[in-house]
Amino acid sequence: MSFKFGILICLIIMFFIACITFYLGKKVAHSLMKYIPVFSFASGLIFYYIKLHFISYKPNSFDSIYDMIAFIILIIVGSIALLETVIIDIVKNSELFGKSYTALRKAITLENIKKIFKFKMPSGFLRKIRS
């Protein structure tokens, strides 16, 4: 398989995976939208891994070197996409944590704690003591 044909197949597979992830993100879970680049680059990596290890090359050809370069580029770009997605998740969750923490601090004030832990005696017991 020539390098140009391999790139074309890889791009088609990556586009197909991106479309599937986009469709699932729209219909099932909206949080899948940020994982579209990660899934598409991972599919390209799997394709090139299979191509490097299981498809034979012509003797004295540069196709294996070109495939290794494409594989390394896909690893680097896929790692950056994964790192970006993780950072986005951390930032979004820290904003939610900050909002919930401030709401919790406002809910638990000293007056509310006094009301919660104030010992109340039953009214019947108080009547017996007073009489």
> What is the chain written as a DSSP string?
--HHHHHHHHHHHHHHHHHHHHHHHHHT-GGGGGGHHHHHHHHHHHHHHHHHHHS---TT-SHHHHHHHHHHHHHHHHHHHHHHHHHHHHHHHHHHHHHHHHHHHHHS-HHHHHHHH-----HHHHHHHH-
pLDDT score of 122: 61
| pLDDT tens string 95-107 | 666 666 666 666 6
| pLDDT tens string 29-66 | 888 888 889 999 999 999 888 888 887 777 777 777 88
Instruction: Give the angle 20-4-22 at the CA atoms, nearest 5°.
Output: 10
Give residues with Cβ within 8 angstroms of 48, minimum separation 6: 6, 10, 67, 70, 71, 74
Residue 85: other Cβ atoms inside 10 A: 15
- Is the predicted pLDDT of residue 92 greater than 70, yes or no? yes
* Token pair belonging to 12: 């088609």
Q: What is the rounded CA–CA span in Å between residue 99 and residue 31?
A: 20
